[in-house]
Each structure stands twice: as C-alpha cells, then as structure tokens.
Structure 1
C-alpha cells in the first residue's frame, strides 16, 4: 500500500468512527421485554468491515468503543462509560469489536475464491454482523441478567428483520463506496 493510500484509509477510518457516532444520535427503540433496544450504530459497524477491511475496520470500531468506554456519551441515547460495557448491552458492544475483523476476513476469502457477488457479501455480513453479534450479545445478556439462555437467544429474534434491512443497506452502500473511492484493490491488499 502506498503512502497516499495509507493516508486515505486512515482518514476514512476516522470518518467511519465519526459515522458510527452520528448513527448514535438516532433514538433507540426500546423493546420492553428485554433491556436491549434497537439501534442504528450496528449498521456502521457492519459497514466498517466491508469498507475498510479487517485491520482498519477493527481500528475504527475499536476507537469508537474506546471513546465510549472512557465515558464519552456516544452510544445511542447519549450513553457511555464502563457501565455500558458491564450492563445488558455489553456483549453486543464487545462483539462489535470483532465484527469488522470477521467481515473483512470473510470478504477477503470470498474475493480470493472469485465469489465477489452482492449475495455472497450479504451472506458474510449476515453471518458476522447479525448472527455472531446476536449470539454473543445473548450469551452476555443471559449471564448478566440471569435469563435462561434460550430466552435470551429467542428474544434476539425481534432484532433480525431490522438487522437484515441494515445488512442489505450496509452491503449496498459499502460496495458503491469501495468502487467510487477506489478501495476495491486496497481492500485485498490491506493485510491484518
């Protein structure tokens, strides 16, 4: 990767962190039966792995989570601080750190197999951005809230339709941005 490409990717990493923060300004939708609301910030997390690859996507989300952990009110609803990571949503937040890594590595793999279609990319985002996050979040929720694991897992079913829409939008936007920004070649070259 050339120096100009590196500067471009680092700049877009910072912009992606900012985008995830901005998505937090949209109000959460509380569900009532579990203490985890529906939020838009997970769409930014999905996009970071698809746009920036495993290394810079993870750095972008890691920076966002670090800022939230130290107390900046950048999580949906103006939340922040270590208590957010210890509460019912903590498992989802921790899973967000690994989501761009998984998405980026799986996308690199399907590109190497020449399966670079919209559908394959959507499958990757659904597996790493929805299923992985929901299972990790449910495990944490079960432990933290003393819910039976089956109840915690089944309560996540309410997130699936909205998360699927966010995954579709994420794939559409990132594919368009990668083409227009010239990230297709750099995406393959960015090694983790």
Structure 2
C-alpha cells in the first residue's frame, strides 16, 4: 500500500471513531439511538471508494470487536454485533463497498446523481439492514422494525446531504481523484 492510502484509511477510521464519541439520541421506543457515525460511513464510501472506504470501516469494526468503546454511547465488544445494532454494523461494512462502486459506475459529476447514490446506499440500504437486524437480532416483529426505522430517514437524509457537499467539495482535490 502507498503511504497516501494508509494515511487516508487511518484518517477515515479516526473520523469514524470521533463521530462515535458524539453521544447518540435515545428514542425510547427503539433500542438503537440516532447517531452521527453513519455520516462517516457515507463519507468513507464517497471519498475513499470501495476498497479504501470498506477498509476504514473494517478497521473500526475490528477495533470495536476487540472491545474498544468506539461506537456511540461508548459501546464495544463482540456482543454489539449480535444485538439490536448488528444489522446497522453489517450495513456499515457493506455501505462503502456498494457506494464506492455505484459512484464509480454511475456518477457523471452531477450533484443530483451523486445525491441519489449516496442517499439510496447510505440511508435506504443502511436502514433496511438495520430493520432486519432489529427484527432478527433485536427480536422485534419485522413490520414494527421497518416502521420504527422510518424515524431515522429525515436525519439520515440531512447527513447524506452533508456527505454530498463534502464529497463534491473534495472531489476536485487530487488526493481523492483516483479513488472515485
């Protein structure tokens, strides 16, 4: 790996960790809080592309599995992967992989197309996986799980817009050109 690649992956992993330190907003009716960490996952896929973005998220998840309290609320350890957040954590790993490929294939340097890709993968896909995780790992009925994750859509949409603007601003930067 090149020094630039290692640095980008390490910095994105650090951003994911920092976003995990920001306290989540508990909702009460669902065991998963509103978090900012998924913004970092969207940025990983958009800025670093499939391989590097997925590697950055994988590094975070390995550290979490080893017990580091890097998820929102200071959570860590292998148990978080089989709890109500398990579907979200799996989607965090897949999100940069899918988003990076979709942006590479379909992005025509138009903000609207980039937004649709970031929103579908970073919001719709992540929340579908989250609902499935709530249903199977959190023992919530599937229809209730899908209804309950609808509360995340407005905030996640705002995060996807923020990811889009950061992505568009940094796309011209030569350090990121080769990734997307």
TM-score, normalized by length of structure 1? 0.90
Among 103, 110, 113, which residue is 1:107 paired with? 103
Q: Does 1:53 align with 2:49?
A: yes
**Is contact 1:91–1:140 with CA below 8 Å preserved after alignment?**
yes
**Is contact 1:51–1:175 with CA below 8 Å preserved after alignment?**
no
| Offset of residue 136 of structure 1 | 0.8
Q: Does 1:98 align with 2:91?
A: no
Please name the residue that 1:167 is paired with.
Answer: 160
CA distance in 2 between partners of 1:86 and 1:127 (Å): 25
Q: How does 1:31-180 map to 2 (within 5 A)?
A: 31-111=27-107, 115-180=108-173
Q: Does 1:187 align with 2:179?
A: yes
| Offset of residue 144 of structure 1 | 2.0
| Offset of residue 177 of structure 1 | 1.9
CA distance in 2 between partners of 1:182 and 1:25 (Å): 27
CA distance in 1 between partners of 2:146 and 2:40 (Å): 23
What's the Cα RMSD here? 1.2
Write the deviation string for residues 57-101 of structure 1: whole angstroms up to 9, x where unpaired.
Answer: 000000011101110011111110011111100110011000000
Please name the residue that 2:9 is paired with.
Answer: 13
Misfit runs of 4+, over 4 Å: none
- Unaligned 5+ segments in structure 2 are none
Please name the residue that 1:23 is paired with.
Answer: 19
Q: Give the length in aligned residue pairs.
A: 180
- The alpha-carbon distance between structure 1 residues 181 and 19, as it changes in their structure 2 partners (threshold 3 A), is farther
CA distance in 2 between partners of 1:51 and 1:168 (Å): 14
